[in-house]
């Protein structure tokens, strides 16, 4: 938890937590905000000039890129989830509250790649609090030097 936050109630709170992580791990961070139903990626059906959802809320989405290795980007969605890209490997549907822990595992060197002999394949394994892990298939073509160095 960054600054004692264990629940990230908004996209802005999550961005603040990620800025804290960037500072803690001495990484550059670039943040882009998309605000309004006509701007967010999951609301492509919104009409021209329509900025609010049908309930009157103003959706807020953010895209964050971190400098350094591994190459990491995060897209925070208004629906309390995120898409995290690690060296080209997309990890979808990460709960917004798990994003800081996911990134800490990456930046602390706890994440690794598991190699399987049969069927052959590689999986990115990211430990999360509470004895949970996130597993994502790594296509062989996406096995970058950073990912290759973490194969077990």
The residues spanned by each domain of the chain are 11-109
**pLDDT tens digit sequence for 75-95:** 998 888 999 999 999 999 999
CA 129 to chain CA mean position, Å: 16
Structure-token pair, residue 97? 């509250």
CA distances for 103 relative to 2, 52, 67, 126, 140, angstroms: 12, 31, 13, 9, 23
Which residue is it, tokens 């798990």? 98
Predicted confidence band of residue 44 (pLDDT cuts 50, 70, 90): very low
**pLDDT tens digit sequence for 97-117:** 999 999 999 999 999 999 998
How high is the pLDDT of residue 117? 86
Residue 135: count other Cβ atoms within 10 Å of its Cβ.
11
Q: How many Cα atoms sit within 13 Å of 96 on the Cβ side?
A: 22
Whether residue 132 is predicted with pLDDT greater than 90 in this model: the reply is yes
């Amino acid at each position: 938890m960054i600054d004692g936050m264990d629940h990230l109630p908004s996209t802005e709170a999550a961005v603040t937590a990620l800025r804290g992580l960037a500072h803690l791990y001495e990484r550059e961070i670039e943040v882009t905000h998309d605000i309004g139903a006509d701007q967010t990626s999951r609301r492509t059906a919104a009409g021209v000039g329509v900025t609010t959802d049908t309930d009157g809320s103003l959706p807020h989405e953010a895209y964050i890129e971190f400098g350094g290795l591994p190459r990491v980007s995060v897209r925070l969605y208004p629906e309390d989830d995120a898409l995290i890209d690690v060296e080209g490997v997309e990890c979808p549907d990460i709960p917004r509250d798990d994003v800081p822990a996911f990134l800490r595992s990456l930046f602390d060197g706890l994440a690794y790649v598991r190699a399987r002999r049969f069927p052959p394949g590689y999986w990115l394994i990211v430990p999360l609090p509470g004895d949970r892990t996130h597993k994502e298939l790594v296509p062989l073509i996406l096995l970058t030097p950073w990912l290759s160095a973490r194969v077990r």
